[in-house]
Structures are given as structure tokens and as C-alpha cells.
Amino acid sequence: MNAQNFIKLKEGYSAKLYRCPAGKLTIGYGHNIEDRGLRKDENELIFTNDYHEVCDELLRGMGAVYTVQNEARKAVLEGMVFQLGYPKFSGFVKMLSALASADYHAAAHEMLQSKWARLDTPKRAKQAAKMMKTGRFPE
């Protein structure tokens, strides 16, 4: 045993936030996230893991309809799943149907008909719909 393993053993591990005995938000092996936050490299690792999970969910859920898209359209789909989660994203049935038919104008239109576009993040949704329609990243 070494010092790191001893501390990990005594702290225990939690993948979810909890309040330590001092009342501080804590995660992992006793990391006081409330006072210390996360370093940029830690956030980059979390983001990378989350991004790969999103791509895996899209691949499992959409298969070739996802993989044949160009990078801009993939980015739209990945961004939506990243923001909304796959279960809510999969509720965009008309958009997904239009996408499966490569009808990008209809897919963009359906995106803009959603609560996501009207109320949640309208600016983001408008930009995503434009990317879906044109197949290009914004300049």
C-alpha cells in the first residue's frame, strides 16, 4: 500500500456529487468540488469522455443515418444530444425521418418547430438548423 491508495481507501469513491461531513459538495475520492472546482485538464477529459459517449449513442441509435452525414451535420446531431440527452433527442421524430431521407430543409424546419428552438435555446437552435440545411459550419 502507498499513501495515495491509503487515502483513496479511507475517502471512498463516489461518481456522483454528495455533501461531505463538512457540508461541501464533493465527488470522486473526496474532491471538494465546491471550493476547488476542476482544473481545465480535468474538464477537458470529462468533455472528451462525454463527447465519445454522445457519438456512441448516436451510432447505436441511428446507425448509417448518422455515419453518412458530413461533419457539420454530425456536429448538429452531436450538439443536440450533448445538450438534450439521447432520449429527448430521439423525440424529434419528424426531424429524424427527414434526415433519413436526406431532406435537410425539412429536417431544419422540424428542428425549428420544437420547444428546444422556441423556448430553450433559440439562438443555438437557429444556428444548428442553418448548419443542417446547408451542411456547413458557420463562418
Chain segment 3-54, per-residue pLDDT in tens: 999 999 999 999 999 999 999 999 999 999 999 999 999 999 999 999 999 9
Say which CATH topology domain 40-134 has.
Lysozyme (1.10.530)
Kindly tell me if the per-residue pLDDT of 101 is higher than 90: yes
Q: How far apart are CA 24 and CA 133, in angstroms?
A: 46
Chain segment 103-132, per-residue pLDDT in tens: 999 999 999 999 999 999 999 999 999 999
Closest by CA to 103, choosing from 73, 80, 127, is: 73
Query: Residue 57: what pLDDT?
Result: 98
Chain segment 43-80, per-residue pLDDT in tens: 999 999 999 999 999 999 999 999 999 999 999 999 99
The type of residue at 114 is S
Query: Residue 139: what pLDDT?
Result: 86
Domain boundaries, the chain: 3-36, 40-134
What is the DSSP secondary-structure string of the chain?
--HHHHHHHHH--EEEEEE-TTS-EEEETTEEHHHH---HHHHHHHHHHHHHHHHHHHHHHHTHHHHTS-HHHHHHHHHHHHHH-HHHHTT-HHHHHHHHTT-HHHHHHHHHTSHIIIII-HHHHHHHHHHHHH-----
CA contacts within 13 A on the Cβ side of 102: 5
